Amino acid sequence: MNPLDLFDYGTLRLIWWVLLGVLLIGFALTDGFDLGSLILLPIVARKDGGRRVVVNAIGPVWEGNQVWLILGAGAIFAAWPMVYATAFSGFYPAMIIALAGLVIRPVAIIYRSKMAGATWRAAFDWLMVIASFVPALIFGVAIGNVIQGAPFRFDANSMQLIYEGSFIGLLNPFALMAGLLSVCMVTMHGGAYLAIKTEETIAFRARIAGFVSALLVMALFVAAGAWVALYIKGYLLLSAAAPDGESDPMTKLVSRSEGAWFANYGAAHWLMAAPVMGFFGAALAAISFARGRDRMALIASGISVFGIIATVGVSMFPFILPSSLDPRSSLTLWDASSSKATLLTMLAVTVIFLPLILIYTTIIYRVLRGRVSGADVEADHASY
């Protein structure tokens, strides 16, 4: 039997659209609390001892958590090469800044405790805060621009990519709101993680910070939804090649209209589960923070993160990267993928290795469960 006959091309494309969402959500759920914890560093820990506790709370897991980002970027590169090329061409300066933050953050984590000087440690502490805040903001800004459509088009004859935007153009009001929502989302998640992993004063402050962040997530999520409904033109696929056709984005017809991003919910009401999870997950997290139910706060914040990211995906389906210059050039999961053989090979590898990653991650978190205290940090000479 020919392995290529196991799945039709359209099914493989849909599977990889789902897997891409899984990888991005996995990154937000794991590395998200790392980013959030360090953003909250100067708020929850005022002295060096407390800041060491926060850093060591994420110290054993932050490297493993970044695997999800690598997997997500790799999946976009291999499964959706047109999306990768277009997004990184247009958002290149922003992505470089975000990646710089993700490079500086581990350097700051590792080197902050190499010397005992207060100035030395304070400098690296602020580097950690900035290097966590900036990527969280930029990832949200990028999503905000994707929802509005990126200023690119393809030449109909040569299929050459033409991008007509600028870095400043990315910093538009709606995108900045999405960026702020992203920051609040990870600080909510980071506050829940620190409430579980730290003791006494730090955990108390983390609950307060998480509570405030959860309220902001609710407000910003609703405001962003209203903004999309009232002022942002969504995209509707009027006609397209068959789901198992060749990857050619210029073979479809696309229209733009207000409220178009809500069309999928009318066609399938069960998709409303995504925004419901996004809003009420944050609400449950806020209640849990207020009542000191730390585990429930972490679970609820994870539900909210899942729901918010899923809301973007199901609202835009089947679009992955719409074009504001030429809607027909928009990239969808049906016309921007790699070949069928490539998708099937990647799926076979993923079926083998993704469960291994999940099992390994589960074991690590189970082994490292429990709170980190100042006494633990002082007793461990290998700590940060």
pLDDT over 70 (residue 1): no
| Selected residue with higher pLDDT from 293 and 112 | 293
Q: Span 358-371, mean pLDDT?
A: 86
Residue 2's pLDDT is 55
Q: How far is it, in rounded angstroms, from Cα 114 to Cα 252?
A: 58
pLDDT score recorded for residue 177: 97
pLDDT tier for residue 64 given thresholds of 50, 70 and 90 = confident
pLDDT at residue number 74: 87
Residue 215: which pLDDT band, with cuts at 50, 70 and 90? Answer: very high
Closest CA to 236 of 261, 213, 218, 204: 261
Read off the pLDDT of each residue in 76-101 and give the average, rounded to a whole number.
88
Instruction: Let me know: does 138 contact 97? Beta carbons within 8 Å.
Output: yes
Say which residue, 364 or 307, is predicted with more confidence.
307
- The predicted pLDDT at position 158 comes to 79
From CA 31, how far away is CA 52, in angstroms rounded? 19
Residue 370 backbone class (left: φ over 0; alpha: ψ -120 to 50; beta: rest): left
Residue 160 or 226, more confident: 226
pLDDT at position 307 is 97
Confidence of residue 273 (pLDDT cuts 50, 70, 90): very high
What ranges do the domains of the chain cover? 30-338
pLDDT in tens, 252-264: 889 999 889 999 9
Across the range 128-148, mean pLDDT stands at: 95
Q: Across the chain, what does the average pLDDT equal?
A: 90
Per the CB < 8 A criterion, the answer to whether 305 and 274 are in contact is no
Q: What is the pLDDT of residues 23-62, one digit of tens each?
A: 999 999 998 999 999 999 999 998 888 888 999 888 888 8
Average pLDDT for 154-170: 85
Structure tokens belonging to residue 221: 């999520």
Looking at residues 198-213, what average pLDDT do you find? 94
Asked if 178 contacts 223 with a C-beta cutoff of 8 angstroms, the reply is no
Per-residue pLDDT averaged across 214-241, rounded? 93
Name the pLDDT band for 161 (thresholds 50, 70, 90).
confident
